[in-house]
Amino acid sequence: MTGAKGRRGGLLEVGITLYVRRGQQSIWENGIFQNCFLLATLLLCAPRVGSVRLVNGGDGDPTQSGDFLAASPVPVIDLATALDELDVVIELSAQLDPTWAQAFREKGGRIVAMHVANDYVIDIERMIYGLPPGMRASGVVYDSVWTLPAFEATCASYYRHVLGAPVRTMGHLWSPAMLEHRAAESGVAFEYTPGRTRWRLAVCEPNICSVKTCHIPMLVCDLAHRQNPDFIVHLRVHNTLQMKANPDFVVFARSLDLVNHGIATFEPRLPIADILGVSADALVSHHWENAQNYLYYEALWGGFPLIHNSSLLGGCGYRYHDFDCEDGARALREAHALHDASLAGYRREARAFLDTLHPANPDNVRQYEAALEALFA
């Protein structure tokens, strides 16, 4: 296989864009930053890849990024270096400038647009409501678009026609490396502790797009509380401080017994390791066409009860149907009744599933290496 310049006996030099901004930045801010590190980890395992670099597409200085890049498995380079040294650039965290992209392709380079969010919903919401744009059709010419199974239904055709390149569905990647790194720093193990007769619950949806919000989880918890007032000691709804000023959300919240009984509170955004095991015993979640989330994997890895509606978790956790709050309340009460007694099996099943997502899993390495080879076919 020969890339733009055929270095190292035909091995590919691959870059992944990362947005490094000025000021404080955290790897826990969003899944895309983690995805950059995980993809880099996988590509380091690929025999046909010579080297892997992160390509800074932001306005920040990587040397001043502090802890943000501490867990990066590969070095960070600038766009000028990338233009000269790389054969493939995977646009992931930062979008490329069309002029730079044209120059890169003229040298024989290949460009992949990798999309790991439900861009169709995000984009139409931002267009309709006048919000800052998400994915831009910037004029960059792509050789391929990579996306995830969770977004095939809503986004594959959208990507094909907006970005003008063939779409390829790739496996989602995850490993516990960042959780373990944080646990080592804090000295606190990230794992479920059995034995509580009353549970502290958390909802951690980002609440920035309709695909992942707190509304259904709040209803699920409230209905379970009405059915059995004795098992929820507290509900913390994270990522909601900005919503407390919305009068419609206030009316919605005040319709719930958990709120009126003083059992629910509304909290800021925190890393999951500062929530599960610290102030919460179980996680209640919901998605709409966004069935693969690092949040789910983190909860499963720690053995925490995950109450969810995802069809892409290999049977792990406690699943309810779509938007069915009654089924969600059933799943939550079932988890409370069964989890401690079945914890060992729960952990085994979760670990077996999470192993299929690991960047070093040979099946994942082969899939991504084949996708790189296809760029030069």
- CA–CA–CA angle 156, 157, 160 (5° rounding): 90
pTM comes to 0.94
Dump the DSSP string for 304-336.
--EEE--S-STT-SEE--TT-HHHHHHHHHHHH
C-alpha R_g of the chain: 22
Kindly give, in sequence order, each residue whose CB lies less than 8 Å from that of residue 210, ignoring residues fewer than 6 positions away.
Answer: 121, 125, 288
- pLDDT given at position 182: 81
Give yes or no for a contact between 36 and 54, defined as CB atoms under 8 angstroms apart: yes
Q: Domain 7-173+358-374: which CATH class?
A: alpha beta
> What integer pLDDT is reported at residue 3 of this predicted model?
44
In this structure, are residues 77 and 54 in contact, taking their beta carbons and an 8 Å threshold? yes
Q: Taking the CA of residue 377 as centre, how many other CA atoms within 13 Å lie in the half-sphere pointing to its CB?
A: 9
Burial (CB count within 10 angstroms: exposed 0-12, middle 13-18, buried 19+), residue 57:
buried
Distance between CA atoms of residues 242 and 234, nearest Å: 21
Mean pLDDT, rounded, of the chain: 94
Find the helix or strand (DSSP H, E) in which 162 lies.
Answer: helix 152-163
Cα angle vertex 97, ends 91, 101, to 5°?
70
Instruction: List, for residues 348-360, the tens digit of each pLDDT value.
Output: 999 999 999 999 9
* CA gap 301, 192 in Å, rounded: 9
Instruction: Supply the pLDDT for residue 9.
Output: 62
- The 3-class secondary structure across 265-308, one letter per residue, is EECCCCCHHHCECCCECEEECCCCCCCCCHHHHHHHHCCCCEEE
Low-confidence ranges of the chain (pLDDT < 50): 1-8
State the Cα–Cα distance between residues 67 and 24, nearest whole angstrom: 9
pLDDT tens digits, residue range 2-55?
Answer: 444 444 468 999 999 999 988 777 777 778 889 999 999 999 999 999 999 999
Judge whether 7-173+358-374 and 177-355 match in fold.
Answer: yes
As beta bridge partners, residue 89 has 15, 111
What is the C-alpha end-to-end distance of the chain, expressed in Å? Answer: 9
Longest dimension (CA), the chain: 68
Q: For 26-36, how does the pLDDT look when each residue is reduced to its tens digit (9 = 90+)?
A: 777 778 889 99
Smallest Cα–Cα separation from 346: which of 377, 374, 305, 307? 305
Q: How far apart are CA 18 and CA 91, in angstroms?
A: 8
| Cα 80 from chain centre | 29
Q: Are 149 and 42 in contact (CB under 8 A)?
A: no
Q: What angle do CA 69, 119, 21 make, to 5 degrees?
A: 25
CATH superfamily of this structure's domain 177-355: Glycogen Phosphorylase B; (3.40.50.2000)
Tens of pLDDT, residues 273-308: 999 999 999 999 999 999 999 999 999 999 999 999
What is the 3 state secondary structure string of 20-74?
CCCCCCCCCCCHHHHHHHHHHHHHHCCCCEEEEEEEECCCCCHHHCHHHHCCCCC
Beta carbons of 147 and 236 less than 8 angstroms apart: no
Domain ranges of the chain: 7-173+358-374, 177-355
